Amino acid sequence: MSAVTIGALSVLVICVLIFAGMHIAVALILCSFVGVWLIKGNVSTAADLLGMAAADSIASYDLAVVPLFVLMGLLINATTLPADGFRLANHFLRRVKGGVGIATVLGNAVMSAVTGVTIASVAIFTKIAVPQMVRLGYKPRFAVGLVAGSGVLGMMIPPSLLIIIYCLITEQSVGRMFIGAIGPGLLLTAALCVGVFLMAWKWKSFVGEVNDTGKEAEEAPTPAVIAKTVGPLALMILCTFGGLYGGIFTAPEAGAVGAFMAFVVAMVRGDLNRETVRKVLLETGSTTSAICILIVAANMYGRLIALSGMPNAFTAWLAQANLGFYALIWVYVLLLLVLGTALDSISTVLLSVPLLLPTFAAYQVDLIWIGVITVLAVEMGIVTPPLGISAFVVKGALQDRSISLGDIYAGSMPFIAIMFIVLALLITFPAITTALL
């Protein structure tokens, strides 16, 4: 059996094991070990090679960025800032058609800039925004679909945990990747806001008979309330990412500054107590540990793929088939969408990126651009049926049990279409990503 055949079979076996219920890290490590053993014909060589892969991946200084940004996000999620920010945006957009929906998108975008986790944003805004929208006449299907769809901003807008993991796998600069994601993140935010406005204006059968431009009078927030809400968020974003983008901090240092500021903000606002701190630290440790073992597994899997010669064989096949680079991009996007419907975001990236990264590198394209495309395609997948995990998070966080998973999937379809348009623009115009680099 040739090395290329062993590499191809390993991918198939990994997919089977994952869909059978095995943890992706275990599947990757097991198949990588057996694959290298079969290729080299020596179990000791396989153990040594994969041991070196594990040591190299964990010893990376850039890996320190993971627990720091996770801690920052969890600390902010433990405060009332997300709810306060939504209420503030809702107030100032009260005269705009579809204002509550737009406030939900903008709230997700702002919180994404200080948390970076899709699932956290989706859970929070399901509890905050959905009851408000339903109360004002929005159809439940539209409300839950909007929350599930706009939740992708959690991974598109820096700091994004998925972006960090992509950078660790591909050995790209986290700082450059964050900068490259700014344009696409803002574009997607604007597209979702415009989509909500147009749907509220022209598609009332889907959105509902809403008149939130004429909502009952609400007490205007005082300057003190505005400062208490906007000030901490603006200061965190300015200090953390201003320092990162300005070259003052490295990515791990920016994460440390952000985590410290999040702790101070939570303390000043009175949202932290001993039990909350304990839960945040435990969840930070749990999340970081899970990510580290996944990074180790992905590194081992990447060694197997490189050793098997699959990337070179695949590149040669593409040259013979004369498909072209953009055909490869769309095949890659389709793979991410299919995997994303059944796996979580991190698992999809760990499985697909090591497989095709060497092929992209052979075309000498900017891997930051490929990374942004990867993140958006993966996030589209987790909203898409039949197993889009974002829909399950919305369903789990809902207080209204009359809303079914089918309603969530149906409601998210227009927003998936908007994401697809943005994805096509990012592929067609790489400068949207690379202009700031």
CA separation for the pair 427, 376 (Å, rounded): 11
Our measurement of the distance from residue 121's CA atom to the centroid of its chain's CA atoms, rounded to an integer in Å, reads 10
Average pLDDT score, the chain:
83
Mind listing the pLDDT tens digit for each residue in 34-82?
A: 888 888 888 887 888 777 877 777 777 777 888 888 888 888 878 888 7
Least confident of 77-91, 185-199, 276-290: 77-91
Least confident of 178-187, 232-241, 378-387: 378-387
pTM of the model: 0.83
- Sorted by where each begins, the domain ranges of the chain are 3-434
CA separation for the pair 11, 427 (Å, rounded): 26
Q: For the residues of 293-309, what is the DSSP string, one character each?
A: HHHHHHHHHHHHHHHHT
Nearest to 385 by CA among 410, 419, 402: 410
pLDDT at 429: 95
Question: In one letter, which amino acid is 63?
Answer: L
